[in-house]
Amino acid sequence: MKILTTVKRVTDPDMKVKIKPDQTGVVTDGVEYKMNSFDEYGVEEAIKLKEAHGGEIVVVSVGPSAATKEIRTAMAMGADRGILVETDEDLDSDAVARVLAEVIRRESPDIVVMGKQAVDSDRNQTGQILASYLDYPQATFAYSLEVADGWATVGREVDGGTATKRVKLPAIITADLRLNEPRYASLPGIMKAKRKPLETLTPSDLGVDTANKVNVLLFEAPEEREAGEIVEDIDTLIDRLKNKAKVL
Amino acid sequence: MANVLVVAEHLDGKLRKVTLPTITFASQAAALTGGEVHVLVLGNGVDAVAGEVAKYGVSKVHYANSPVFENYLAETYAPAVVKAAQAIGATVVAAPSSTTGKDLLPRVAARLDAGMVSDAIAVFDDGGIKFRRPLWAGNVLTTVEVVTPVKVVSVRTTDFEAPAEGDAASVEAFDAGVAASETAEFVSFDQVKSERPELTDAAVVVAGGRGLKSGENFQMIMDLADTLGGAVGASRAAVDSGYAPNDWQIGQTGKVVAPDLYFAVAISGAIQHLAGMKGSKTIVAINKDADAPIFQVADFGLVGDAFEIVPALTEKLKSIV
């Protein structure tokens, strides 16, 4: 079974981002980067699929040359080879999906497992757009995945409960948080990852025009909430809720 | 005509409330495009839902009944939405930023060769139609423009009021002409049944965190919620620890809520949690750690042991509300 997974290099989600004074973006100096947390679930699931069914895992990133670090991390976890589609542009989800669609047409994987959203842009679009461009079925927000007889049975996190969907392979699966417990890369894994093949391409090598359909014009900080009051006891709290906030 | 199409959501034969703020967004967008608001209802036996949504100040409701639409599947709904959007000349296609909207709309956008905006919190004219949306777990707001003629938008429904009821719009059957998918099958939907209000609709939300230490201890969160007629939520840490079901999760990766009153009990207030509740009108934090970041967003904070405070608070509130 050939499994394709994707990783995005994002700012460390535990760090608070700062907006540039000219409001054209966020400050990147001194910022730490890591693999998008949802992608860790995607990589882990790819490894579990390989452990169960055999085959090969290809990990793909669309991003700057520094994203080789996130590809190597995925390789250290267990991916077999990597593809970096190098670009310094800030692509929208549609452009990333067009790039990935071209990679997938070349690689013809049996299944694609990727994160449901990136924790920087919070768009939650790429997997679905990709599925549409490839005319694949999709199973988003997966918390469970079983593959048998050319179909995937996917448990999905949805509003009001859970849903189960079956999709014929090849399909796009996007990972939610409960899908698995991503493993840490072992030291031998990290050493081995350095020798695994990594191909670097550009969008133009793939014949993809990366013009965005959505442009970000302005970055702003949200309005801060005013500092509140620490109350002494329950009676004071109830009094404030009744008489100040007027919510009781 | 530069119309706006809203994809309605429904469950158990009733309109889901998240559709209503989406209609308000659509009316604001239509005022900018100079078009009308149309609503599309897909399902099997959705005449009543179509009649219900027609009362909310929209121009026209289109509904399609088909066994193919009995259960939601992106693979069958997306082509139907695309066909409807083209039929009415929609330049904006909107749906709630629910799990269904998030699953469906990017697929629709790709088929319409449209750019998509996720979680729009505002639409306005600034030398052309623009949208505002949060990123980085709500720590950044951006203004975005969509350069394609058709724009697809998922709407963060906590940022728009529900419209008032008015005269009923005309309701028309729509022939989507979509065949069953050969590559995707609906298997089941396991609904969590609850007497409590839906999390994203509730006026009061009481949420518990990892500090509660066990699932059993969530009972006091439920008691406080029930006393106030509220919904129960949880932080990601509490969900990951198995104390609370996943659909209670509030935050960047869970649900976004904006109730009148939000109780954060034993929740530290990580960035990713704040993303889901910062828009609440009044926030109360109960935490034994006086340095917990949650106190920086709380209107009222009580430093102390939740195991003592919450039951005592619930008892006192019982005699008040």
CB pair distance less than 8 Å for B115 and A17: no
Name the CATH superfamily, with its identifier, for domain B3-173.
HUPs (3.40.50.620)
Q: Hey, what's the torsion of the CAs at A126, A128, A132, A133, to 10 degrees? A: 10
Asked casually if ipTM beats, i.e. exceeds, 0.85, the reply is: yes
CB proximity list for A153: less than 8 A, separation 6 or greater: A144, A145, A146, A147, A164, A165, A166, B187
User: Residues of chain B with pLDDT > 90: what percent?
Assistant: 94
Q: Cβ of B247 and A157 within 8 Å?
A: yes
Can you give the pLDDT at residue A160?
A: 86
Q: Do A137 and B117 touch (CB under 8 A)?
A: no
Residue owning tokens 């319409």: B112
Q: State the CB neighbour count (10 A cutoff) for residue B34.
A: 10
For residue A247, report the phi and psi dihedrals to the nearest 5 degrees.
-110, -5
Distance, CA of A227 to CA of B46 (rounded, Å): 48
- For residue range A54-66, what is the model confidence (pLDDT) as tens digits? 999 999 999 999 9
Chain B neighbors of A178, CB-CB under 8 A: 246
* pLDDT score of A224: 85
User: Which of A22, A38, A124, A236 is the best residue to mutate to test the B interface, defined by the most B CB atoms within 10 Å of its own CB?
Assistant: A124
- Interface size A-B, in CB pairs within 8 Å, comes to 254
Top-confidence residue, B245 or B282: B282
- Which residue type occupies B141? L
Closest-CA residue of B relative to A152 is B184
Task: Encode A142-169: b = buried (16+ Cβ within 10 Å), e = exposed.
Answer: bbbbebeeebbbbbbbbbbbbbbbbbbb
A138 shares contact with chain B (CB less than 8 Å): yes
pLDDT of residue B192: 84
* Interface membership of A108 toward B (CB under 8 Å): no
Q: How far is B185 from chain A (nearest CA, A)?
A: 5
Answer yes or no: is pLDDT of B1 > 80: no
How far is Cα A121 from Cα A84, in angstroms, rounded to an integer?
Answer: 20
Sign for the pseudo-dihedral over CA of A117, A120, A122, A126 = negative
Mean pLDDT of chain B: 96
**C-alpha distance from residue A4 to each of A27, A93, B103, B220 (Å):** 32, 18, 20, 45
Confidence at A227, pLDDT banded by 50, 70, 90: confident
Rama region for A207: left / alpha / beta (φ>0; ψ in -120 to 50; rest):
left
Q: In this structure, how many other beta carbons lie within 10 angstroms of the beta carbon of residue A112?
A: 30
The pLDDT score that the predictor gives to residue A14 is 85
At B14, phi and psi to the nearest 5?
-125, 150
- Given a cut of 80, whether residue A141 has pLDDT beyond it is yes
A81-109 mean pLDDT: 98
Domain residue limits, chain B: 3-173, 204-319
Strands A214-220 and B140-146: antiparallel
Residues of A in contact with B259 (CB under 8 A): none
Q: Give the mean model confidence (pLDDT) for residues B156-185.
A: 96
Q: What is the rounded distance in angstroms from the CA atom of residue A59 to the CA atom of residue A79?
A: 6
The full set of domains in chain A, from first to last, is 2-244 (3.40.50.620)
**Residues A190, A192, A196, CA angle at the centre, nearest 5°?**
115
B204-319 under CATH 3.40.50.300, yes or no: no
- For the packed helices B74-88 and A126-134, what is the interaxial angle rounded to 10 degrees? 80
Pairing of strands B115-120, B90-96: unpaired
Q: Which of B99, B135, B253 has its CB closest to that of A158?
A: B99
CB A118 within 8 A of CB A90: no
Out of A17, A97, A122, the one facing B118 most closely (by C-beta) is: A122
Q: Among partner residues A123, A166, A248, which is closest to B320 by beta-carbon distance? A: A248
Question: Is residue A179 less than 8 Å (CB to CB) from chain B?
Answer: no
